[in-house]
Amino acid sequence: MKLLIKNGRVIDPKNGIDQQLDIFVNNGLIKKIGENINLENVDRVIDASGKIVCPGFIDIHVHLRDPGYQYKEEIASGSRAAAAGGFTTICCMPNTKPVIDNASVAAYVRQMAAKTAVVNVWPIGAITKNQGGEEITEMADLIAAGCIAVSDDGKPVEKAELMRNALEYARMFHLPVLSHCEDRSLAADGQMHEGYFSTIYGFKGIPTAAEEVMVSRDIILAGLTGGHVHICHISSKGTVDLIRKAKAQGINVTCEVTPHHLTLTDEAVGSYDTNTKVNPPLRSAEHIKALLEGIKDGTIDCIATDHAPHELESKDCEYNYASFGISGLETAIPLIMSLVGKHFDLNKMVSLFTTGPASVMGLNKGSLEIGGAADITIIDPKKSKTVDPGSFYSKGKNTPYAGRKLKGWPYMTIVNGKVKAEDGRIIEE
């Protein structure tokens, strides 16, 4: 399969490229990047004029729910949501049933992905067996089975000593330890951000301190052990400040932020739309401001969706009964595009989805390399479309953005040299 991508604005932050170029792809690999490439006998010439051509986007925080919760999502459907949303690589969290806490479950994910996925899928193993917070997992075995990080995800490791051991042990493999920071005693029964709007809407709030207390602990433990702690879905000004300071001290800490924490405030909960229920919760405007500052000054390494699909019944109920989570893969790009020009430029945006996540995970991806795998995301910055969860490839239709008109959508997703999605639709082989 030979592809020639013509006349696009190629942005490759790692290689410092931002200009109109053509890219020739053959046999799954990038063969040539240059001006005015003209070749005979290509299978397809893609006219990318007016479009932005980038290294394939990476989402390091996705819930594929497979095995165990295939009624919420499967590797097949989740990977299609990723491709439709412009991602070529996703990393899936281990809170499945059974938990990805041993090589055989990790191998299952890799095999199912090889068989049914349309993008690259990397599993994340658990930090502790069964996410139980008691004994650390066989990390070498998990790595051998394809895991590229460990995380206990929504069940954060409560015992400080165990977290210390995990960071220390993971260090020998240069394995990132992903931490969903939440002091569960402070967050208990909370439904939304604690503040003015939790008072108005009558909900128990989740204070930012619930996140910050554990971020502080994990930063201190990373400093103690030299291990790499990656803070998931940061949501507060306090967290940005803590990480900024830790980075300045040379502590091995990275972090991600989600599109929803950058684009929706806690005021949205007022509709009692359960699709606004997410953990950590949507915060107030001052926190969004601090997160945007964190992006600008490099405190925040990458964007990750925390794609959390749920079946209808989990959301079609009373707010307190509803599950936490937003189905995020298919709206991430336009949501972040809505910030481009206002808070950061296009180059920054691309790096947040490419070099940023690749470097957090130690993935040899996120740039356009001659001879490298042809993972390419093409964005149409002019396309406007209304978010329609009914057309999602994800089984999770749970989005608070339904009906919202957004501009700047993925145009094409190329994975290992094959066009997997075009204009939001999956191209099946």
Partner 1 sequence: MKLAQHKDLLGLRDMSREEIQLILDTAIPMKDIIKRDIKKVPTLRGKAMITVFYEPSTRTRTSFEIAGKYLSADTVNLPVALSSVQKGESLRDTMKTIEVMGFDVMVIRHSMSGAPHYVARNTNMRVINAGDGANEHPTQALLDFFTIREKKGTLEGLTVTIVGDILHSRVARSNIYGLSKFGCEIRLVGPPTLMAPEIEKLGVKVYYDLEKAIEGADVINVLRIQKERQHVGLFPSLDEYANLYMIKNDKLKKAKEDVLILHPGPMNRGVEISSEIADSTQALINEQVTNGVAVRMAALFLMMGGTRDEIAY
Residues assigned a catalytic role: 306
d(CA 56, CA 109): 21
Q: Is the CB of 135 or the CB of 321 nearer to partner 1?
A: 321
Site string for partner 1, 231-270 (x = CB under 8 A): ----------------------------------------
d(CA 222, CA 205): 29
The answer to whether 317 contacts partner 1 (rule: CB under 8 A) is yes
Q: Binder to partner 1 among 249, 296, 298, 321 (CB under 8 A)?
A: 321
Q: Is the CB of 322 or the CB of 352 nearer to partner 1?
A: 322
Dump the DSSP string for 261-291: HHH--GGGGGG--GGG--SSPP--HHHHHHH
Residue with tokens 């590229």: 148
Compute the least distance from the CB of residue 336 to partner 1, in Å.
30
Compute the least distance from the CB of residue 306 to partner 1, in Å.
23
Q: Is the CB of 144 or the CB of 200 nearer to partner 1?
A: 200
Compute the least distance from the CB of residue 206 to partner 1, in Å.
11
Q: Binder to partner 1 among 40, 49, 202, 390 (CB under 8 A)?
A: 202
Q: Give the sheet arrangement for strand 57-62, strand by strand.
A: 57-62, 87-92, 120-123
Residue with tokens 């049914």: 116
Judge whether 177 and 230 are in contact, CB under 8 Å: yes
Q: Binder to partner 1 among 87, 122, 203, 393 (CB under 8 A)?
A: 203
Compute the least distance from the CB of residue 90 to partner 1, in Å.
33
Q: Is the CB of 286 or the CB of 423 nearer to partner 1?
A: 286
Q: Is the CB of 111 or the CB of 199 nearer to partner 1?
A: 199
Q: How many residues in the chain?
A: 429
Judge whether 12 and 55 are in contact, CB under 8 Å: yes
Site string for partner 1, 277-316 (x = CB under 8 A): ------------------------------------x--x
d(CA 113, CA 273): 33
Compute the least distance from the CB of residue 272 to partner 1, in Å.
3
The answer to whether 190 contacts partner 1 (rule: CB under 8 A) is no
The answer to whether 27 contacts partner 1 (rule: CB under 8 A) is no
What the block records as the tokens of 20 is: 């109109």
Compute the least distance from the CB of residue 237 to partner 1, in Å.
15
Q: Say what angle helices 285-296 and 237-248 make with each other, to 10 degrees.
A: 20
Compute the least distance from the CB of residue 128 to partner 1, in Å.
28
Q: Which helix (H) or strand (E) holds 413?
A: strand 405-415
Q: Is the CB of 7 or the CB of 274 nearer to partner 1?
A: 274
Q: Is the CB of 279 or the CB of 284 nearer to partner 1?
A: 284
Judge whether 328 and 400 are in contact, CB under 8 Å: no
The answer to whether 195 contacts partner 1 (rule: CB under 8 A) is yes
The answer to whether 200 contacts partner 1 (rule: CB under 8 A) is yes
d(CA 397, CA 389): 5
Q: Is the CB of 161 or the CB of 318 nearer to partner 1?
A: 318
The answer to whether 341 contacts partner 1 (rule: CB under 8 A) is no
Judge whether 88 and 119 are in contact, CB under 8 Å: yes
Q: Is the peptide bond before 94 cis (omega within 30 degrees of 0)?
A: no
Using CB under 8 A, which of the segments 60-68, 98-106, 199-207, 336-344 binds partner 1?
199-207
Compute the least distance from the CB of residue 278 to partner 1, in Å.
16
Judge whether 127 and 166 are in contact, CB under 8 Å: yes
Q: Binder to partner 1 among 135, 144, 159, 196 (CB under 8 A)?
A: 196
Instruction: Enumerate long-range contacts of 310-314, CB under 8 Å, 24 or more apart.
Output: 310/72, 310/396, 310/398, 311/71, 311/72, 311/395, 311/396, 312/397, 314/72, 314/398
What the block records as the tokens of 351 is: 């790096």
d(CA 80, CA 375): 15
Give the residues lining the site for partner 1 (CB under 8 A).
Answer: 191, 194-196, 198-205, 271-272, 313, 316-321
